[in-house]
Amino acid sequence: MTAVAETIAPTEAVRPHVMKEFRKHSGSVFGGVFGAAAFDEVALVPVAAAVDKTGRFERNFADRGVRSGFSALLAIWGDAEDRAAEGERLKRLHREVRGRGKGEFAEIRYSALDPQLWNWIAVSGIFVVLNSFTPVTGIELNPAELEEAYRQLLHAFRALELPGKSAKLPATYADAVKYYDDVVETRLQANPFLERVTDGLTKLPLPTLLLPAPLRVGITPLWLALRPAAGRVVKVCSFGIMHPGVRELTGFRWTPAHQREFELYTKLLQVAWRVLPDRLLLIPLAYNRLQYEKLVRLHRSVALDSFAPAAGCPVG
């Protein structure tokens, strides 16, 4: 993410095939590789206090990541009715998330429906999708395409907006970058919770959601053997797209060796993006949505342009 928003040059245009790839990327299974970039959320101390208080990170932060990812993907790929229902569900449940932190956060008060906290989390999620696009696909977005990509995600996240003019999400990509940079500069802080979750990335717990208990027991030994490497990939890829100001707050020191490692992993992702079929690249909700849209186009392709009699058709 740049420190200063770029201005769209009048000669640059939105390329339809690029926006098609961006839309696919927003439903890609590769999004999980960059999931820890959302740790910027808990660099805002009241958010850290709230998440720490629930204890869900300590129990299994992989499960929390799965829940958050599924909710965001429903916002992006669900029907309008389902997006609205998910937005209302999240607002209703977050009414209970208010109070004072515990332990090192005992003096911190928070309310999840405070627009300053709520919008920070929403914008964080939008930027994870935006900033991971080029590493996954190898496609550089021009300024006009960045604006269009942001509008695409903003439309999906509208159902999450809180009521009130002052609670609106940034209206443009340029506004979002300015907002994000300002929060990084003036409000984010290093804190014990942020340090703990950063350190814990190479000890990723096995997600329990959607995995039957017998299967979890069977694959746990393999997971324990693989998780240091898996956590390393997630850490390097996530921190590779993270705002440098946030990365500094985590205590993780980014080196030239990390940059080379990041470039290797993203080259492999780009090869996979080009050669794998959509059925493997996309989450089922996104894949089925795109298949549905193809079928709609097929049905419409045989329709007449007019029901009026054809020219020269005899009458009577």
DSSP code for 64? H
Cα 233 versus chain centre, distance: 17
What pLDDT does 313 receive? 58
- Over 90: is that where the pLDDT of 204 sits? no
Q: Which amino acid is at 119?
A: N
Q: Which of 39-48, 195-204, 265-274 has the lowest mean pLDDT?
A: 195-204
Q: Do residues 41 and 103 touch, judged by C-beta distance below 8 A?
A: no
- Of the chain, the end-to-end C-alpha distance in Å amounts to 70
Segment 132-141 shows an average pLDDT of 98
Q: Do residues 175 and 16 touch, judged by C-beta distance below 8 A?
A: no
Confidence label for 186 from pLDDT (cuts 50, 70 and 90): very high
pLDDT tens digit string along 36-75? 999 999 999 999 999 999 877 777 778 888 888 899 999 9
The upper half-sphere exposure of residue 159, i.e. CA atoms within 13 Å in the direction of its Cβ, equals 22
Q: Say how far apart CA 297 and CA 310 lie, in whole Å.
A: 24
Q: Which amino acid is at 290?
A: L
Residues 6+ apart with CB under 8 A from 138: 266, 270, 273
Q: CB atoms < 10 A from the CB of 210, how many?
A: 9
Q: Say how far apart CA 104 and CA 192 lie, in whole Å.
A: 8
pLDDT tens digit string along 212-236? 888 888 999 998 999 999 999 999 9
Closest CA to 183 of 124, 125, 98, 237: 124
- Over 60: is that where the pLDDT of 316 sits? no
Residues 6+ apart with CB under 8 A from 312: none
Segment 87-105 shows an average pLDDT of 93
> Structure pTM?
0.89
- What size, in residues, is the chain? 316
- Over 50: is that where the pLDDT of 132 sits? yes
Q: Say how far apart CA 177 and CA 55 lie, in whole Å.
A: 31
pLDDT tens digit string along 273-303? 999 999 999 999 999 999 999 999 999 998 8
Confidence label for 267 from pLDDT (cuts 50, 70 and 90): very high
Q: Say how far apart CA 97 and CA 161 lie, in whole Å.
A: 17
Q: Say how far apart CA 197 and CA 42 lie, in whole Å.
A: 9
Alpha helix locations (H) across the chain? 16-25, 45-54, 56-77, 80-94, 115-137, 143-157, 173-186, 192-199, 213-240, 244-250, 256-275, 278-281, 284-301
Residues 6+ apart with CB under 8 A from 83: 74, 75, 156, 158, 159
Q: Do residues 62 and 206 touch, judged by C-beta distance below 8 A?
A: yes
